[in-house]
Amino acid sequence: QKEVEQNSGPLSVPEGAIASLNCTYSDRVSQSFFWYRQYSGKSPELIMSIYSNGDKEDGRFTAQLNKASQYVSLLIRDSQPSDSATYLCAVTRLRNTPLVFGKGTRLSVIA
Amino acid sequence: DGGITQSPKYLFRKEGQNVTLSCEQNLNHDAMYWYRQDPGQGLRLIYYSQIVNDFQKGDIAEGYSVSREKKESFPLTVTSAQKNPTAFYLCASSILQAGEKLFFGSGTQLSVL
């Protein structure tokens, strides 16, 4: 059974700090990894994708992937109150197969 | 503007009633999906379709039905067999060769009267 696990939180960080969100997955042959952000009552939006081991940076966001340890993480630098949301980790084994989502981590950035 | 339109935004179901949630996209995407989200939970896949007139069950298909008669449309029917239908329902679409990049509609909140 494919599983994606995240700490549900809430994770509270002060404004300006680095927020670190983690995700582990059970299917060793997973190939593609994604972070979606979801504000309360809204639909998810894609913020990062990563496919190979290492780090990928996009603005204040950095995704990190370690396939040997089966974890993927998201770092948010200079956290802002507007970053307060639920962050969903999603994984897929193959292209053209549906994503499997984790339950999400709720992040609260305190001004 | 291209996008995915879900309707209605809120829907109430009486016991024993079937209800249909609408999802329309004008992005010319091949694949469409229905996810269910319960409070504090992630997204669980109900059904998906990668081509017209074909669809596959997801992890929680029992009590739901879908059709894909047109590329643009993928309605979801919540049948009376679904005993716990209260949830936030999300429709999504994607380009078939980039299935992981989902574009979501704004969602339908379904509640039981």
Q: What is chain B's alpha carbon radius of gyration, rounded to the nearest angstrom? A: 13
Residue of A nearest to B47 (CA): A98
| pLDDT one-digit tens code per residue, B26-81 | 999 999 999 999 988 889 999 999 999 999 999 999 999 999 999 999 999 999 98
* Portion of chain A with pLDDT greater than 90, in percent: 81
Cβ(A33)–Cβ(A65) under 8 Å? yes
- Cα distance from B78 to chain A (closest Cα, Å)? 20
Contacting residues of A for B97, CB less than 8 Å apart = 95-96
Higher-confidence residue: B2 or B24?
B24
Cross-strand partners of A96: none
Tell me the residues of chain B between 31 and 90 that have a Cβ less than 8 Å away from chain A: 31, 33, 35, 40-45, 48, 50, 58, 90
Q: Which of B31, B99, B101 faces A46 most closely, judged by CB atoms?
A: B101
Instruction: Please name the residue of chain B whose CA is at the shortest distance from the CA of residue A31.
Output: B100
Cβ separation B41–A32 shorter than 8 A: no
Cβ of B42 within 8 Å of Cβ of A96? The answer is no
- Confidence (pLDDT) at B99: 54
Residue A68 has a pLDDT of: 94
CA distance A87 to A103: 9
Q: Which of B88, B69, B112, B85 is nearest to B8 (CA)?
A: B88
Nearest to B100 among A6, A34, A103 (CB): A34
Asked if B97 lies within 8 A of A4 by C-beta distance, the reply is: no
Tell me the CB-side half-sphere exposure of residue B43, using CA atoms within 13 A. Answer: 32
pLDDT, tens only, A12-51? 999 999 999 999 999 888 888 999 999 998 999 999 999 9
pLDDT tens digit sequence for B70-84:
999 999 999 998 889
CB B94 within 8 A of CB A43: no
- Predicted confidence (pLDDT) at residue A101 exceeds the cutoff of 70: yes
Quote the Cα angle for B77-B78-B83, to 5°.
165
Taking only residues 71 to 110 of chain A, the set having a beta carbon closer than 8 angstroms to any beta carbon of chain B reads 88, 90, 92, 95-104
Mean of all residue pLDDT scores within chain A: 93
Confidence band (pLDDT; 50, 70, 90) for B93? very high
Q: What is the mean pLDDT of residues A91-103?
A: 85
Write down the number of H helices and E strands in chain A. Answer: 0, 11
pLDDT at B28: 93
Distance between CA atoms of residues A101 and A88, nearest Å: 7
